[in-house]
Amino acid sequence: MVDTASKSGSERTTRSDRSQYIAQTGPIDVDAPPAAVDVALLGRTLLGTWADIRLASRELVKDPALQRIEGLSLEEHRTRVLGQLRLLVQNGQVHRAFPEALGGGNDHGGNIASFEELVTADPSLQIKSGVQWGLFGAAVLHLGTQRHHEKYLPGIMSLEVPGAFAMTEIGHGSDVASIATTATYDPQTQEFVINTPFRAAWKEFLGNAGKDGIACTLFAQLITNGVNHGVHCFYVPIRDAATGEFLPGVGGIDDGLKGGLNGIDNGRLHFDHVRIPRENLLNRYGDVAADGTYSSPIASPGRRFFTMLGTLVQGRVSLDGAATIGAELALTIAITYGNQRRQFTAASDTDEEVLLDYQRHQRRLIPRLATTYAQVFAHDQLLRKFDEVFSGAGDSDEDRQDLETLAAALKPLSTWHALDTLQEAREACGGAGFITENRLVSLRADLDVYVTFEGDNNVLLQLVAKRLLTDYSKKFAKADAGALARYVVAQAADRAYHGSGLRRLAQTVADFGSTARSVGQLRDPQTQRELLTDRVETMISEVATRLRNANKLSKEKAAELFNSQQNELIEAARAHGELLQWEAFTEALDGIHDAGTKQVLTWVRDLFGLGLIEKHVAWHIIHGRLSPQRAQAVSAYIDRLVARLRPHAQSLVDAFGYEQEHLRSTIATGIEAERQNEAREYYRQLRASGDAPIDEKTLRKKQGK
């Protein structure tokens, strides 16, 4: 299937004769070369490392039983999604990440890939299964030991035991270390006493806590022999499975309606001196002996805490993928519709313009398409890194830290991009975009919370920034002013992108004034790389310089100084994440061998890269990296790239590979083209009949008025 730059509709159009409106869209007047995208080949590339598993998951969710029904009440939606989880169990799709001994597949990357695709069925289904198997189950798997696996995982895997992941409290979300729930060991009875000391310590926003959960993995401060050993995780039954009533000492309330994801029963939990057996401590990283003696394989409490939390990174990894799918769906719908919908005549007296032929419409959708492509490639790298760490193929401390930083850098960008793209797509479809049957509004509502859960995006970017600062300061601690120059030379061999990990701050600070001489050079990936890399490095280096005396200040003054750099640091982390996406895109181009596809995708990559440069072009000018004249060339070249990509827009969304069963959007079925054809035919026949009324305007012209 090769699309030779015709402005064709989706190949999967089922409700219209595609050839009808291909013929009517006519030629366009941009300098589109005869490059062509091999949609099938590109589609396979986009599916990434776990292509077959993704395809199987997409097949699975074609079953209407797994799909969202709009307009259900809260209770109906919850009931439906719980039933859908049972269907997933029956299908055996969701057990990939669990141990082979228990019937699982021990396939961590494939598990996430499969799980992400559920978002096309219903984001509530995706997130509820994420709560059950990716959080509640994963906590038992990664924080528990053999005895917990054998005792709890079978019930969790089979959904006999629906459970909540009770970490967040009303008073502490991002700052997990400060949660206030306590688990105090009582050596007399060899039990932990779980207690919620005040309202701010109620566990909050927990999926499965509102109604379905009969147990939870609860995070609490472990106290034994008068010492608080910090946050640990416990397996705590909360409801009687038979009656659905809370167990003695446990209470809670239902969070009720949310902005989206209403198929999930979020709720609050609190505990009044609830006693659980000592063995319910998930003791992989910390244990308490019968006499109350605490032990841990990790001596440092700080490192122990981060190690425990680090095992739960898969939530962030999977949101990066699911958000990218959300953006793909949005663009497939809006570009398919924008490629058929016509409004206003401009170039002729009779034919109205296709929306996607308007420059503004192109500017609204095509750069977002480029960003989505970058995210697809970056996400596959993230998923491979995740699989390496969790399969044990590469799970050193550094690997784990790189994985966490990579996830913390990419998840914010992709989740924000999904909301931005869903909204722009909804607006680009006008009133039709606001109608639920066209899908965009519900998807946006459901994906809204992705930007603040599993790590608030702004907080995650700060984590990335701190890592960048740490890497920087490790090199330059107590170094003199000349250290930077030596560092640059010493690390010259380290310039290649570490595909599966974190991009190192190891590039030269070049004089781009002398290299970015023309538009031609903006196309050079090395120019793009240097501009993007230099911005990250310079921002970090500038902040580091401003912070260099912080350790000489009082804690209060140091905090104030750090706070004055917070915004800049977060922007630096964002720039770092964008660079990672750009590098992943560039690396992916190497794997594409079809000439036409490679040409078009190179334009897409250039559009992404130059779009990032344009967004911060003032920075590049102010810092002397681009002259004002060259900065103007960036925007001019972006205009050309957008126009050049316009004829390929449909192929580029078709390559995402979604079928009508995944899109479920009336305006993406071809119905708009059908209606237009009907209208044209009506007018054609009217003109032919001689009965057409004459326009007053025309008449007045004839009459010389």
Q: Is 694 in the site for a second copy (CB under 8 A)?
A: yes
**Counting contacts by CB under 8 A, is residue 60 touching a second copy?**
no
Residue found by looking up tokens 């082979």 in the block: 100
> Is residue 517 near a second copy by the rule CB under 8 A?
no
CB of 161 or CB of 649, closer to a second copy: 649
Please identify which of the residues 204, 424, 454, 530 carries the catalytic annotation. 454
Cβ proximity of 574 and 412 under 8 Å: yes
Nearest residue (CB) to a second copy, 173 versus 213:
173
Measured distance CA(549)–CA(557) in Å, rounded? 11
Q: Does 478 bind a second copy (CB under 8 A)?
A: no
Q: Based on the shown chain and the rule CB under 8 A, indicate whether residue 550 belongs to the binding site for a second copy.
A: no
Closest CB to a second copy among residues 486, 700: 700
Q: Are 148 and 139 in contact (CB under 8 A)?
A: no
Task: Tell me how crowded residue 616 is: count the other CB atoms within 10 A of its CB.
Answer: 19
SS3 229: strand
Of the residues 136, 219, 234, 453, which one makes contact with a second copy according to CB under 8 A: 453
> Pairing mode, if any, of strands 287-288 and 37-38?
unpaired
Alpha-carbon distance values, 536 to 234, 444, 465, 492, 511 (Å): 41, 31, 10, 17, 15
- Report the distance separating Cα 314 and Cα 454, nearest Å: 9
Smallest distance from the beta carbon of 32 to a second copy, in angstroms?
14
Task: Quote the least distance from Cβ 697 to a second copy, whole Å.
Answer: 5
Q: For residues 412-451, which are near a second copy according to CB under 8 A?
A: 419, 423, 426-427, 430-431, 433-437, 440-442, 444-445, 448-449, 451
* 476 belongs to the binding site for a second copy (CB under 8 A): no
Smallest distance from the beta carbon of 528 to a second copy, in angstroms?
Answer: 18
Asked if 622 touches a second copy (CB under 8 A), the answer is yes
How far apart CA 34 and CA 181 sit, in angstroms, is 65
Cβ proximity to a second copy, 382 vs 451, nearer residue: 451
Binding footprint of a second copy, residue count (CB under 8 A): 110
Query: 3-class secondary structure for 485-527?
Result: HHHHHHCHHHCCCCCCCCCCCCCCCCCHHHCCCCHHHHCCHHH
Nearer to a second copy, 154 or 301 (CB): 301
Amino acid at 134: G
Among the listed residues 685, 677, 678, 683, the one whose alpha carbon sits nearest the alpha carbon of residue 695: 683
Whether 454 is a known active-site residue: answer yes
Q: Contact between 676 and a second copy (CB under 8 A)?
A: yes
The residue from 47, 159, 223, 505 that contacts a second copy (CB under 8 A) is: 223
Which residues 633-652 are close enough to bind a second copy by CB under 8 A? 639
Q: Which amino acid is at 548?
A: R
Least separation in angstroms between residue 670's CB and a second copy is: 13
Task: Name the β-bridge partners of 193.
Answer: 184, 275
Task: Give the containing element (helix H, strand E) for 575.
Answer: helix 566-590
**Minimum CB distance to a second copy smaller for 37 or for 449:** 449
Nearer to a second copy, 496 or 618 (CB): 618
Burial of 426 (0-12, 13-18, 19+ CB in 10 A): buried
Min. distance of Cβ 174 from a second copy in angstroms? Answer: 6
Q: In the complex with a second copy, which residue's Cβ is closer, 201 or 505?
A: 201
Cα 388 → chain centroid? 20
Residues 6+ apart with CB under 8 A from 451: 412, 415, 416, 419, 457
Q: Least separation, in Å, of the C-beta of 51 and a second copy? A: 33
**Beta bridge pairs of residue 122:** none
Q: Which residues within the stretch 88-147 sit at the binding site for a second copy (CB under 8 A)?
A: none
| Residue 243 or 514 with smaller CB distance to a second copy | 514
**Could you give phi then psi for residue 293, rounded to 5 degrees?**
-75, 130
Among 168, 307, 311, 414, binds a second copy (CB under 8 A): 168
**Dihedral in degrees, nearest 10, Cα atoms 665, 44, 497, 390:** 80
Q: How many CB atoms lie within 10 A of CB 151?
A: 14
654 and 10 in contact (C-beta within 8 Å)?
Answer: yes
Residue 433, both tokens: 């975009």
Contact 646, 30 (CB under 8 A): yes
Site for a second copy contains 259 (CB under 8 A): yes
- Angle in degrees, CA 441, 360, 631, rounded to 5: 120
Residues 63-92 that bind a second copy (CB under 8 A): 70-71, 73-74
The residue range among 373-381, 481-489, 595-603, 694-702 that interacts with a second copy, by the rule CB under 8 A, is 694-702
Query: Could you tell me the smallest distance in angstroms from the CB atom of residue 356 to a second copy?
Result: 12
Nearest CA-CA partner of 428 in 500, 337, 511:
337
When asked if residue 180 is in the footprint of a second copy (CB under 8 A), the reply is yes
Q: Which two tokens mark 299?
A: 């001596």
Residue 522 near a second copy by CB under 8 A:
no
Q: 349 to 408, contacts with a second copy by CB under 8 A?
A: 349, 352-353, 357-360, 363
Considering only 478, 593, 697, 702, the residue that binds a second copy (CB under 8 A) is: 697
| Shortest reach from residue 691's CB to a second copy, in Å | 9
22-51 binders of a second copy (CB under 8 A): 29
**3-state SS class at 442:** helix
Tokens 């044209």 identify what position? 680
User: CB burial class (10 A; 0-12, 13-18, 19+) of residue 595?
Assistant: exposed
Q: Among 31, 100, 242, 348, which residue interacts with a second copy (rule: CB under 8 A)?
A: 348
175 scored as a contact of a second copy (CB under 8 A) = yes
DSSP code of residue 133: I
Closest separation in Å from C-beta 288 to a second copy: 12
The residue within the footprint of a second copy, chosen from 257, 477, 493, 688 (CB under 8 A), is 257
**CB nearer a second copy, residue 227 or residue 595:** 227
Q: Phi, psi at residue 145, to the nearest 5°?
A: -125, 180
By CB under 8 A, the residues from 551 to 610 that bind a second copy are 555-556, 559-560, 562-567, 570
Instruction: Work out which of 617, 645, 653, 663 binds a second copy, going by CB under 8 A.
Output: 617
Shortest gap between Cβ of 257 and a second copy (angstroms)? 4
Q: Which of 245, 480, 590, 678 binds a second copy (CB under 8 A)?
A: 678
For residue 479, the minimal CB distance to a second copy (Å) is 27
Regarding 174 and contact with a second copy (CB under 8 A), the answer is yes
Question: Which 193-212 residues touch a second copy, going by CB under 8 A?
Answer: 197-201, 204-205
Whole-number Å distance between alpha carbons of 218 and 235: 6
Task: Give residues 282-311 in contact with a second copy (rule: CB under 8 A).
Answer: 294, 299, 301-302
Q: How far apart are CA 646 and CA 362, in angstroms?
A: 7
User: How near is the Cβ of 466 to a second copy at its closest, in Å?
Assistant: 12
Residue numbers annotated as active site: 454
